[in-house]
Amino acid sequence: MRIFLDANILVSILNKEYPLFTYSARVLSLADNKQYEIYTSPICLAIAFYFSEKKSGRTIAKNKINLLVSKIKIAEADHTVVINALHDKAVGDFEDGLEYYAAQKAKCKYIITEDINDFHFSKLPVLNARQFLEENIL
């Protein structure tokens, strides 16, 4: 199963933000299970790096991102993704549109985010980390 992690999930992991960290880290740990493919986008990584750098400094943030990308896959955010996000009238936030269409292009089954309402337009199921774990793992 392919799942897409939104930036806020990555930030909670990199910065160990409780109580979200407990659930987000467990979702990320599924990358070690062959039944799951974990994706994110370059935009989500940039956002996560920004917040990690603010908390831990550039060197540590780069090391954390490097470790993260060794475990997960990067969804493409190509021309088609950008055009779809721009032209979808239901997309209110361009960044969320980019993430959604990148997840769709990567054939993800779920989007995992703590801001579920940001993806009100999604045709993919959108769950927070705890909901995903409760519905699919526990």
124 pLDDT higher than 70: yes
- DSSP per-residue codes, the chain: -EEEE-HHHHHHHHTT-TTHHHHHHHHHGGGGSTT-EEEE-HHHHHHHHHHHHHHH-HHHHHHHHHHHHHHSEE----HHHHHHHHH-TT--SHHHHHHHHHHHHTT-SEEE-S-GGGGTT-SS-EE-HHHHHHHHT-
Question: Could you tell me the pLDDT band of residue 138, with boundaries at 50, 70 and 90?
Answer: low
Encode pLDDT of 60-112 as tens digits.
999 999 999 999 999 999 999 999 999 999 999 999 999 999 999 999 999 99
Q: What is the pLDDT of residue 137?
A: 81
59 pLDDT higher than 70: yes
Instruction: Report all structural domains of the chain as residue ranges with CATH numbers, in order of start.
Output: 2-136 (3.40.50.1010)
Residues 109 and 2: beta-carbon distance below 8 Å? yes
